[in-house]
Amino acid sequence: MLPGLMQNRPLAIIDILRFAAVAHNTQEIVSRNVDEPLWRSTYGETMKRVCQAAHGLNEYGLKAGDRISTLAWNTHRHFELFYAGPGLGLVVHTANPRLPDEHLVYTINHAGSRILLMDRNMVPIYERIRDRLETIEDVILLTDSARTNEGYKGFEDVIAGKPAQYDWPGFPEDAGAFLCYTSGTTGDPKGVLYSHRSVVLHALAAGLSGALGFSAFDVVMPGQSLYHATAWGLPFAGPINGVKFVFPCDRFDGASLQELISSEGVTFTGGVPTVWTMYLQYLRETGESPGPLERIIIGGSAVPRDMAVAFAKLGVNVQQIWGMTETSPLGVVSTPTPALAAEGEDFMNEEIWTRQGRMLFGIEMKIVDEEGVEQAHDGEQDGSLLVRGPWVLSRYYKAETEATDTDGWFDTGDVSTIDRFGFMRITDRKKDVIKSGGEWISSIDLENIAAGCPGVRVAAVAGIYHPKWEERPIMLIETHDGTELSAGDIEAFLKSRIASWWMPDRIIFEPVPLTATGKIDKKVIRDRYRDVLSG
């Protein structure tokens, strides 16, 4: 080959904000914060604060490649750390405060973070786990000095008086930038280490019309947490397209979201279905209108068709997305095409509402049968969904082997079809994970714990549709012959061993159905109890 003669400048996350600060200098960033008045700033001012934060962080003796953990909500300071950290060559581990303490501690220790930056209302969590954190040397509260808890240092004190310029260091574009943990189907959480390259490429592709379709006239309120796969990349796709940002902190209830939507002119938001179910209910109860809101992207679980229809009636487009922490996370987004439009509006809506979405440039997909044979794109044949591309992981953090096959394909664990329109539909999901309000409950963990209860022979857990939480676990118990157990006995046993919200909504005593190969047949359980939590 003949090498090209273009500039091989590394892709760098900080360049996204540097661009926005020059080309969209006065575009606004608005943020709620814990116990603080509404924050109102611009890209120009934010760039200066990010430079100050870099100077401030430098005083902690951090070096490139070091990890820092955040335990924070959707706020402007968290957003600033998304640039200051990677700008310095640090890796930002976005710790998930919804994890059980044990998993939270595991992720921070596994990341080996030296600094923990957290919102003020995370202090109780921190004080509960601090003795188990093995590598944290310093803690910074994401507050101003007036509101910093006794004995803690506030972020505004760290950056105060620092220069508003920074001479950002250069490093290769495959340098790590974000460490996001996924609670897998079993065992410890696994870390996915995004690089500058993967984040920038994902951000470019995410802004296109076939994905999020951002323009500088969009006002984007991330309704998905910044600690969930970097809020699906919005903090990077947004500034590239010059959007106004509105950060809701931790207030995802209908009234709080509606207040920001109407006062700040939010046109675009997103999140898990639970949040938007609550919002719809709020609109119904108050009779208010979604006003400026044009689009909601929903992922994390399949979008209930009724929700899409209800929003459509209010003039809001609901677009499903599918992705995983391992895919940065955008895999597919449900956006229209002329080929669908040619089939008529009803057909197009059905496709858009019932498929996870259509393919994006940058994520190769194939579905294969058990022998690895590729299946046709006919919308009928399903198979294991494999993905490949520059924002798909290659290996989990500290793992000793690749997470992909030798051709680079990553097995998503989902089973899906792909149709002739390029739309992918999940037909059977990772059977052992339950998505409750956007958080994952591992059914295998629950089964293993319940199996430890004296008298239990087999415990089987399945996720069942729930009108508010999307899914909740139910548990089937087969007892050893002659053993008498009640649901109360099982609950009492589980209570001290699991997070309270992992408790099954139903505990049912009956023989556990098995597949031909002797595995628990979750599909049969789900079919049998499909409606048990809907009433």
Between residue 17 and residue 36, which ones bind a second copy under the rule CB under 8 A? 19, 22-27
* Shorter beta-carbon distance to a second copy: residue 256 or 349: 349
Q: Which amino acid is at 134?
A: E
Peptide bond between residue 454 and the one before it cis (omega within 30 degrees of 0)? no
Closest CA to 210 of 337, 31, 94: 337
Q: Containing H/E element for 330?
A: strand 330-333
Task: Tell me which DSSP letter residue 399 carries.
Answer: -
d(Cα 520, Cα 450) in Å, to the nearest integer? 15
Contact between 322 and a second copy by CB under 8 A: the answer reads no
Contact between 379 and a second copy by CB under 8 A: the answer reads no
| Catalytically annotated residue among 28, 80, 264, 326 | 326
d(Cα 67, Cα 89) in Å, to the nearest integer? 9
CA distances from 519 to 88, 95, 103 (A): 49, 34, 27
Contact between 392 and a second copy by CB under 8 A: the answer reads yes
d(Cα 352, Cα 357) in Å, to the nearest integer? 7
- DSSP SS3 for 509: strand
CB of 192 to a second copy, least distance (A): 7
Contact between 511 and a second copy by CB under 8 A: the answer reads no
CB of 363 to a second copy, least distance (A): 9
* Shorter beta-carbon distance to a second copy: residue 236 or 276: 236
Part of the chain binding a second copy (CB under 8 A), chosen from 13-21, 284-292, 489-497, 518-526: 13-21
CB of 17 to a second copy, least distance (A): 10
Contact between 214 and a second copy by CB under 8 A: the answer reads yes
Binders of a second copy among residues 55 to 74 (CB under 8 A) are: 64-65, 67
Give burial (CB, 10 Å; 0-12/13-18/19+) of 487.
middle
CB of 193 to a second copy, least distance (A): 4
What angle do helix axes 487-495 and 443-450 make, rounded to 10 degrees?
110
Contact between 313 and a second copy by CB under 8 A: the answer reads no
Sheet holding 91-94, edge to edge: 91-94, 67-71, 115-118, 138-141, 153-154
* Shorter beta-carbon distance to a second copy: residue 339 or 514: 339
Q: Is 326 a catalytic residue?
A: yes
Q: Is 371 a catalytic residue?
A: no
Strand partners, 249: 74
Part of the chain binding a second copy (CB under 8 A), chosen from 31-39, 47-55, 196-204, 507-515: 196-204
CB of 78 to a second copy, least distance (A): 21
| Catalytically annotated residue among 440, 447, 470, 522 | 440
Interface residue with a second copy, options 213, 413, 455, 513 (CB under 8 A): 213
Interface residue with a second copy, options 87, 207, 271, 473 (CB under 8 A): 207
* Shorter beta-carbon distance to a second copy: residue 230 or 443: 230
Q: Is 182 a catalytic residue?
A: yes
Contact between 197 and a second copy by CB under 8 A: the answer reads yes
CB of 239 to a second copy, least distance (A): 8
Contact between 120 and a second copy by CB under 8 A: the answer reads no
C-alpha 358: how far from chain center: 19
CB of 422 to a second copy, least distance (A): 4
Contact 224, 272 (CB under 8 A): yes
Contact between 204 and a second copy by CB under 8 A: the answer reads yes
Contact between 318 and a second copy by CB under 8 A: the answer reads no
d(Cα 408, Cα 193) in Å, to the nearest integer? 16
Q: Containing H/E element for 239?
A: helix 234-240
- DSSP SS3 for 199: helix
Binders of a second copy among residues 395 to 434 (CB under 8 A) are: 395-397, 404, 408, 420, 422
Contact between 208 and a second copy by CB under 8 A: the answer reads yes
Interface residue with a second copy, options 177, 261, 474, 533 (CB under 8 A): 177
Strand partners, 509: 477
* Shorter beta-carbon distance to a second copy: residue 191 or 254: 191
Contact 305, 279 (CB under 8 A): no
Binders of a second copy among residues 88 to 107 (CB under 8 A) are: 89, 91
Which DSSP string corresponds to 260-291?
Answer: HHHHHT--EEEE-HHHHHHHHHHHHHH----T
C-alpha 463: how far from chain center: 19
CB neighbour list of residue 477: distance below 8 Å, 6 or more residues apart: 450, 456, 458, 459, 485, 490, 507, 508, 509, 510
| Residue 182: HSE in the Cβ half-sphere, 13 Å Cα cutoff | 22
Interface residue with a second copy, options 50, 193, 441, 461 (CB under 8 A): 193
| Catalytically annotated residue among 162, 431, 435, 522 | 435
- DSSP SS3 for 348: helix
Interface residue with a second copy, options 195, 277, 416, 442 (CB under 8 A): 195
Please count the residues of this chain forming the interface with a second copy, following the rule CB under 8 A.
81
| Catalytically annotated residue among 182, 277, 325, 417 | 182
Task: Tell me which DSSP letter residue 324 carries.
Answer: -
Contact between 357 and a second copy by CB under 8 A: the answer reads no
CB neighbour list of residue 127: distance below 8 Å, 6 or more residues apart: none
Part of the chain binding a second copy (CB under 8 A), chosen from 75-83, 213-221, 432-440, 514-522: 213-221
Part of the chain binding a second copy (CB under 8 A), chosen from 6-14, 32-40, 304-312, 525-533: 6-14
Contact between 336 and a second copy by CB under 8 A: the answer reads yes
Give me the 127-166 binding string for a second copy, x by CB under 8 A, dash otherwise. ----------------------------------------
C-alpha 177: how far from chain center: 16
Active site residues per annotation: 182, 326, 435, 440
